[in-house]
Structure 1
Amino acid sequence: MASHTKAEAEERTSPPRLRTRPLAASAVLIGGLVAVALGLAISISVGAADIKLGTVWEAVFRFNPELTQHQVIQELRLPRALAGAMVGACFAVAGAIMQGMTRNPLADSGLLGLNAGAGFVLAICFAFFPGVSYLNLILYAFIGAALGAGIVYGIGSLSPNGLTPIRLMLAGSAVSALLVALSEGIALYFRIGQDLAFWYAGGVAGTKWIQLKLMFPWVAAALICAMLLSRSITLLSMGEEVAASLGQRTGLVKLAAIVIVIVLAGAAVSAVGAVGFVGLVVPHVARFLVGVDYRWIIPCSAVLGSLLMIVADIAARMINPPFETPVGALIALIGVPFLLYLARKERREL
């Protein structure tokens, strides 16, 4: 009798069995990392003047400051490629956490106002504090992302029928449009449109080592915390009641998750501008490949997000050389149809 009672107690406090594919997840991680390394090499080699992969290897591991190609690789192309990988991981992991935490398949930092909020605050900085340092720009981007998310969730929660995914997406679209319009108004009035053009288009061109050095501690800490929180995100994705019954302090978990998302989205937007849909598409692909356990979804999303941004940046330089196509526009070609598919699927399930 006592053993039966103990077994029931363990069953109540243990998480339900999850549909996971650890072998597939391991293959995605290993294959994805190999593809990211190859993508970084190709990204460094292609451009206005193509550089051989052997020269790329020498510039990275046996740098000769007297060679012009080595200087181009070290000062321009290598930080650009690494920024693409870092930012792709940021957007993808932020989207995965938001989707798991809110149980909203449409959640994404771009759709829910974080990107637009960060861009709005950056517009204010360019207008009123033109000499602000890049470190302060990152901090202001964090504040803007929090502002955008707070407004969206505040408006969405006013609905008497609850905060459904469709309502949240509509509130995010409306708030994003408003913040973008205000940013453009500030740009026109203060004549800073050229400064903001980069943030609107989105891209990693012109990224410097100082930006990477300032971003890396924030991003690394946020990604590590995301991994530590992954089990709790998995339980939240099953429902708040299930998570609470398994001993999770859901309020604390949500607060920590929101802080992580704000750091990731704010850092990414401060570096490359408002690139949307990475956090929407990548977590769904990762979930399809590895199952519903966020202990696998989050690292796989980071790798696949990095790969997507690297490939998009390469394509941006190859479509119409020597001119560059905005990376945000290329990713939107994938993201918009995917969003419409998800929205239609959600509507059928309501």
Structure 2
Amino acid sequence: MRFRPSLPAVILIMTPAVCLFLAVVSVLYGAKDISAETVWQALFSFDSSNVDHQIIRASRLPRALGALLIGAFLAVSGALMQGMTRNYLASPSIMGVADGSVFAVTIVMILLPDTSSYGLIFSSMLGSLIGATIVFGLAWLVPGGLSPVKLAILGTIVGTFLSGISSAISVYFQISQNISFWYNARLHSMDPALIKLSLPFAAVGLLLAIGLSRFVTLLALGEDTAKGLGVHTWLIRVLCTIAVVIMTGVAVALAGKIAFVGLIIPHIARFFAGTDYRRIVPVSGALGAIFLLVCDILARFINYPFETPVGVVTSLIGVPFFLYLIKMKGGKSNV
């Protein structure tokens, strides 16, 4: 019998090559096109006096790598949230998780303006936890609050509230220019040192997500079914929340709030991978990385030679997708 790899396996096998190709395109093209020869020299014969070499090392490469990492983090976070809540509208940007991160970063920048990169990452994670706790806490108190549409509405209200407070206090303390980075998701301002520091945290979050994926599949079948199969549902939800908090916190700390990646990609991954989260989680990570880097590349050419914020591109795709899900699913909790 001939071995035929499954579609999820094909996607995962092809992902490194696709990511490498997109990363090369991302480095070569932008407001200023750079030749492949210059990129090669910048990588292997770096000349600090060469402006193009500086652009490649300090901006283009971190930007491409950051887009790949952030896309993967947000997509996997969305997949976990949708699976553990059985809510097809769950995602970090809609459930107030990302807004909580920006809120915490704002507070830290006011109280501790000289905070370290580690402090920034930890504060972003703490804010993710605060946002998620408020949204799901309110959902438990409101009748029917855990239904997809009501939970999305609560998440939007809490996210808007936290965003409004962050904007108000940043203006009052005259740091609005600094905070604008976390709301506009400027991938071109990526800090290479912060990327290096965030990698261990991100690895923990991704490994935890992969390790929990089997139990998330059971949770997606329903509370009673999962308990009947011996799953400690509360413990799995706590661990999934920790993984989401880590990955979303890292993503926001690196580039600010980017909407809809965690909403769109898990649904696409589910289309290719079926209902088993052992496949959905890694496929979501792969497709999320590709998706965000493609959006970032497109953002450079929509209004060339000026750059469009990548959040605008993801929103142009995400808003119609969001409305489509509401229309097709009809508010039912079924993932």
TM-score by shorter chain over 0.5? yes
Number of equivalent positions: 330
Q: Is the 8 A contact 1:22 1:290 kept in 2?
A: no
Q: Which moved more, 1:330-339 or 1:25-34?
A: 25-34
Q: Match for 2:21 among 38, 52, 60?
A: 38
After TM superposition, list the pairs within 5 Å mapping 1:68-147 onto structure 2.
68-147=51-130
- Equivalent position of 1:324 in the other structure: 307
- How far did residue 35 of structure 1 move? 1.4
1:271 is the counterpart of 2:254: yes
Moved more, 295-304 or 52-61: 52-61
Alignment correspondent of 1:11: none
Structure 2 residue matching 1:258: 3-state secondary structure = helix
C-alpha distance in 1 between matches for 2:48 and 2:206: 34
Note the residue ranges of structure 2 that are not aligned, 5 or more in a row.
none
Question: 8 Å contact 2:190–2:254 — kept in the other structure?
Answer: yes
3-state SS in 2 of match to 1:180: helix
Structure with the greater alpha carbon radius of gyration = 1
Alpha-carbon RMSD across the aligned residues, in angstroms, is 1.7
Q: Does 1:55 align with 2:38?
A: yes
> Aligned residues: percent identity?
41
> 2:206 aligned with 1:223, yes or no?
yes
Equivalent residue runs for 1:205-284 within 5 Å = 205-284=188-267
- Is 1:198 matched up with 2:177? no
Deviates more, 1:104-113 or 1:129-138: 129-138
Q: Which amino acid aligns with 1:81?
A: A
Match for 2:326: what amino acid?
Answer: A
1:250 Cα shift?
1.4
TM-score by length of 1: 0.90
Map 1:14-25 → 2, pairs under 5 A: 23-25=6-8
Mapped partners of 2:44, 2:215: distance in 1: 41
* Equivalent residues of 2:182, 2:256 under 8 A apart: yes
Range with bigger deviation, 74-83 or 105-114: 74-83
Residue of structure 2 in register with 1:346 after alignment: 329
Aligned partners of 1:242, 1:277: CA distance in 2, in Å?
Answer: 30
The TM-score normalised by the length of structure 2 is 0.94
* SS of residue matched to 2:43: helix
Partner of 1:154: 137
Check conservation: 1:203, 1:313, Cα contact below 8 A. no
Aligned to 1:309: 292
Distance 1:164 1:22 in 2: 37
Deviation digits for residues 268-318 of structure 1 (CA, Å, limit 9, x no counterpart): 011111111000000000000111111111111111111111111111222
For structure 1, which runs of at least 5 residues remain unmatched after alignment? 1-20
Contact 1:226 1:298 in 2 (8 A): yes
2:159 is the counterpart of 1:173: no
Hey, what does 1:12 align to over in structure 2?
none
